[in-house]
C-alpha cells in the first residue's frame, strides 16, 4: 500500500536548514506563533533544551557557543518572548558569542506597522534588536528560510563573532512547502587577515623594544589563538597579562605570566611602563584599563577584530584582524630575542615575578583571609578541565583577578554585566558536554533570577553544581553604596531557604561553611546530575586602586 509523503511546512525548513548548517542542539521556549518550528523540531534529529525563562535560554545558548566555538540556535516566540532575550543577547554581543536567535512574528498581514491587533504584536519587533545584535534578518516566504538562516549563521561566526536575530512570521512557519528537504547549506564566514604592511611595522616595533609587554583579551580565547600567543611571547621574551575576559589565553604559571590583576595599580603601572605594549583582542575598556586610569607611556600596537574598538580609547598602530591570524603572522615576522636583552633590571620573567610579589603583598595586607580561603577551596574542588560560569557577585570579582582557570576556562557576565548569568549558562555548557561537571557561582540576589532553572537542570539531568554565596542581599552594591553614601538602600533581600528550595525540585543540596567548602563542593561536583551548595558568608572586595588616595 502506497503511503503519501508527510506534508512539510516552513518549520521543517527551519530545522532542516539548521541541521544542514551543523547545528546539534537548540535552546528555547515555545510560544503560540513559534509552534510550527517546535512541531518540526520534534521530528528532527536536533536535541532540544527548554528553559523556563527566555533570558535564561539566551544565557544557555551563549555558554554553548562559548565552549563549542560553534553557533548556538535559540528559538523563541513573538513579542514578550522575543524581548525577554535582549539582556542575554547583549551579553553574547559583549562576549562575541555566536548565538543565532530565531524569533517568530505575527502573521505577515500584520508586518509593516499596521495595527491588526494580533497577540504579541509590536510595531517593529526587529527594531528592538538592531542596537544589540550584529545583524537582523527577516523572512517573508518559506522559500527564503534556508538562505536567510545560512546568511545569519555566517554573520554570527564572522570575526568578531556575535549574536544575530532572525524572525519568521507565524503563517510562514505553518505554510506547506513542496521543495525537497534541505540537505546542504554553505555558510562560511569571511576571514579577517591582517594587512601585511601593518604586521611588518608591528614586528619592527616589537623587535626593537627594550620592554615589550603583551595584554591579551577575550579575542585571543575566542579565536583559539592561545598557542600563537605563547609562541610570540616567548619569542619576544615579553611578559603577558590577560584581561578578565581573556583569562586562559596564557598559562597562569608561565614564567612570563602577569596573570589577571587588571584592577591593581602595580599592574597598571607595569603596562604603562612598556616601551611597546601589544594589546590583542581587547578594546581597553573600563575593566581592562583599571577604570580608564591606564595611560600608556610607550607605543601601543592593537590587534582587534571589532572595528569599533580599534583605537577607541588610545591612539595605536591599529591592526583590524582576527587575533589568531595576526599573532601567527607576528610570530613569523619577529626574530627570537636573547633574554638578557630585555628589561634593564633583569629578565622579563624576573620582572613578572616581582610584579606578582608586589600585588600579593598589597592583597595580603588587607585582612582578606576568608575571601582567599573561599576562592582557594573552589579551585581545589573544581576538576582542572571543568569550565566555570560566574554571576556578577563578589566571589566572581575575586575570580576575575585571582582564579587560575587551568584547562577548564572561566566564563562570566562581565561583558554586559547583568545578573542571572551563571546558572543557566552552566546548563548550556553541560548540554554541550555531559562527560565533565560544570560549576556555576552566584550570589543570593543573582540566584533568584535563575531559580526556575533548577527544574531544567533536573529535567535534563545536567551535571551542574551551583554554588550560591548567601550574604543576604546585593553584596557588591551594598559595599558600593556604603562607601559612597554612608549607607545602602534597596540592597537587603528576603530570600528562601535555598537548600530546601533545591530539594523541592529534586536537586540534592547542602549548606556548607568556608572550612568545609572544598570537601562539600568536591563531593557535589563528583556526584551525577545537578546539585546545589549554599555558603552563607559575607565577603569583601580588596581595596580599589583607581580611586584617588587608594591603593
User: What pLDDT was estimated at residue 417?
Assistant: 85
DSSP 319-388: EES-HHHHHHHHHHHSPPPPGGGS-TTS-HHHHHHHHHHHHHHHHHTT--HHHHHHHHHHHHHS-TT--E
- Average pLDDT rounded to a whole number, residues 11-27: 97
Confidence at 340, pLDDT banded by 50, 70, 90: very low
Query: Greater confidence, 335 or 213?
Result: 213
Pairwise CA distance, residues 63 & 49, whole Å: 13
The conformation of residue 253, written as its DSSP 8-state character, comes to T
Q: What is the pLDDT of residues 28-78, one digit of tens each?
A: 999 999 999 999 999 999 999 999 999 999 999 999 999 999 999 999 999
DSSP 157-194: HSSSP--EEEEEEHHHHHSEE-SPPP-----PPPP-PP
Please count the other Cβ atoms lying within 10 Å of the Cβ belonging to residue 353.
17
Q: Pick the closest to residue 99 from 111, 107, 108, 90 (CA basis).
A: 90
Q: What is the CB-side half-sphere exposure of residue 104 using CA atoms within 13 A?
A: 30
Q: In what order do the strands lie in the sheet with 72-76?
A: 47-50, 25-28, 72-76, 99-105, 164-169, 136-138
Across 102-116, 198-212, 213-227, least confident range = 102-116
Percentage of the chain modeled with pLDDT above 70: 96
Pairwise CA distance, residues 55 & 62, whole Å: 11
3-state SS class at 39: helix
User: What pLDDT was estimated at residue 7?
Assistant: 86
Q: What is the pLDDT of residues 170-184, one digit of tens each?
A: 999 999 999 899 999
- Average pLDDT rounded to a whole number, residues 253-277: 95
Q: Mean pLDDT, the chain, as a whole number?
A: 93
Confidence at 346, pLDDT banded by 50, 70, 90: low
- Average pLDDT rounded to a whole number, residues 287-294: 87
The pTM for the full model equals 0.94
- Average pLDDT rounded to a whole number, residues 513-521: 98
Please count the other Cβ atoms lying within 10 Å of the Cβ belonging to residue 296.
20
- pLDDT over 80 (residue 412): yes
User: What pLDDT was estimated at residue 241?
Assistant: 97
User: What pLDDT was estimated at residue 155?
Assistant: 97
User: What pLDDT was estimated at residue 550?
Assistant: 53
Q: What is the pLDDT of residues 421-452, one digit of tens each?
A: 999 999 999 999 999 999 999 999 999 999 99
- pLDDT over 90 (residue 3): no
- Whether the CB-CB separation of 199 and 319 falls below 8 Å is answered with yes
- pLDDT over 50 (residue 339): no
3-state SS class at 211: coil
- Average pLDDT rounded to a whole number, residues 160-170: 96
- pLDDT over 90 (residue 109): no
Backbone angles phi, psi at 434, to 5 degrees: -85, 5
Bridge partners of 509? Answer: 532
Pairwise CA distance, residues 54 & 390, whole Å: 19
Pairwise CA distance, residues 152 & 189, whole Å: 10
User: What pLDDT was estimated at residue 454?
Assistant: 98
Read off the C-alpha cell for 196: 601585511
- pLDDT over 70 (residue 549): no
Q: What is the pLDDT of residues 311-331, one digit of tens each?
A: 999 999 999 999 999 999 999
- pLDDT over 70 (residue 208): yes
User: What pLDDT was estimated at residue 114?
Assistant: 73
Q: Is 143 exposed, middle or buried (0-12, 13-18, 19+ CB in 10 A)?
A: middle
User: What pLDDT was estimated at residue 89?
Assistant: 98
Query: Greater confidence, 109 or 456?
Result: 456
User: What pLDDT was estimated at residue 522?
Assistant: 98
Amino acid at each position: 500500500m502506497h503511503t503519501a509523503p508527510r506534508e512539510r511546512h516552513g518549520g521543517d525548513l527551519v530545522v532542516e536548514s539548521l541541521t544542514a548548517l551543523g547545528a546539534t542542539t537548540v535552546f528555547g521556549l515555545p510560544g503560540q506563533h513559534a509552534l510550527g518550528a517546535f512541531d518540526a523540531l520534534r521530528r528532527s534529529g536536533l536535541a532540544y533544551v527548554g528553559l523556563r525563562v527566555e533570558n535564561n535560554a539566551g544565557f544557555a545558548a551563549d555558554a554553548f557557543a562559548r565552549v563549542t566555538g560553534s553557533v548556538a540556535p535559540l528559538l523563541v516566540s513573538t513579542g514578550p518572548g522575543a524581548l525577554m532575550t535582549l539582556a542575554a543577547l547583549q551579553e553574547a554581543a559583549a562576549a562575541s558569542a555566536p548565538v543565532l536567535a530565531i524569533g517568530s512574528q505575527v502573521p505577515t498581514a500584520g508586518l509593516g506597522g499596521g495595527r491588526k491587533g494580533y497577540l504579541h504584536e509590536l510595531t517593529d519587533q526587529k527594531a528592538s534588536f538592531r542596537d544589540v545584535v550584529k545583524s537582523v534578518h527577516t523572512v517573508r516566504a518559506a522559500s527564503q528560510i534556508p538562505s536567510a538562516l545560512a546568511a545569519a549563521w555566517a554573520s554570527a561566526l564572522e570575526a568578531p563573532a556575535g549574536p544575530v536575530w532572525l524572525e519568521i512570521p507565524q503563517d510562514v512557519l505553518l505554510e506547506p512547502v513542496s521543495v525537497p528537504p534541505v540537505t546542504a547549506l554553505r555558510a562560511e564566514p569571511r576571514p579577517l587577515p591582517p594587512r601585511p604592511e601593518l604586521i611588518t611595522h608591528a614586528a619592527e616595533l616589537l623587535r626593537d623594544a627594550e620592554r615589550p609587554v603583551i595584554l591579551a583579551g577575550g579575542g585571543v580565547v575566542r579565536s583559539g589563538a592561545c598557542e600563537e600567543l605563547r609562541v610570540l611571547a616567548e619569542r619576544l621574551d615579553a611578559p603577558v597579562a590577560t584581561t578578565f575576559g581573556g583569562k586562559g589565553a596564557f598559562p597562569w604559571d608561565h614564567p612570563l605570566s602577569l596573570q589577571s590583576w587588571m584592577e591593581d595599580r602595580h599592574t597598571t603601572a607595569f603596562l604603562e611602563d612598556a616601551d611597546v605594549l601589544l594589546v590583542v583582542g581587547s578594546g581597553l575598556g573600563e575593566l581592562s584599563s583599571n577604570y580608564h586610569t591606564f595611560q600608556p607611556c610607550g607605543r601601543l600596537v592593537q590587534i582587534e577584530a571589532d572595528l569599533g574598538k580599534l583605537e577607541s580609547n588610545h591612539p595605536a598602530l591599529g591592526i583590524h584582524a582576527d587575533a589568531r591570524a595576526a599573532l601567527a603572522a607576528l610570530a613569523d615576522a619577529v626574530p627570537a630575542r636573547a633574554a638578557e636583552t630585555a628589561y634593564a633590571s633583569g629578565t622579563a620573567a624576573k620582572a613578572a615575578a616581582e610584579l606578582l610579589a608586589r600585588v600579593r603583598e598589597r592583597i595580603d595586607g588587607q585582612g582578606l583571609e576568608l575571601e582567599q580561603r573561599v576562592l582557594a577551596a573552589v579551585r581545589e574542588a573544581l576538576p582542572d578541565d571543568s569550565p566555570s560560569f560566574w554571576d556578577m557577585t563578589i566571589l566572581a570579582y575575586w575570580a576575575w583577578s585571582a582564579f587560575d582557570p587551568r584547562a577548564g576556562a572561566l566564563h562570566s557576565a562581565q561583558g554586559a554585566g547583568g545578573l542571572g548569568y551563571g546558572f543557566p549558562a552552566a546548563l548550556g555548557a553541560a548540554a554541550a558536554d555531559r562527560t565533565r561537571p560544570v560549576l556555576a557561582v552566584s550570589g543570593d540576589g543573582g540566584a533568584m533570577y535563575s531559580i526556575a532553572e533548577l527544574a531544567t537542570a533536573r529535567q535534563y539531568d545536567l551535571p551542574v553544581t551551583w554554588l550560591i554565596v548567601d550574604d543576604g542581599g546585593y553584596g557588591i552594591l551594598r559595599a558600593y553604596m556604603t562607601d559612597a553614601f554612608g549607607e545602602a538602600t534597596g540592597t537587603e533581600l528576603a530570600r528562601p531557604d535555598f537548600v530546601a528550595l533545591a530539594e523541592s525540585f529534586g536537586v540534592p543540596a547542602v549548606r556548607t561553611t568556608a572550612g568545609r567548602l572544598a570537601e562539600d563542593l568536591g563531593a557535589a561536583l563528583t556526584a551525577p546530575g545537578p546539585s546545589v551548595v549554599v555558603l552563607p558568608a559575607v565577603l569583601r572586595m580588596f581595596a580599589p586602586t583607581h580611586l584617588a588616595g587608594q591603593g
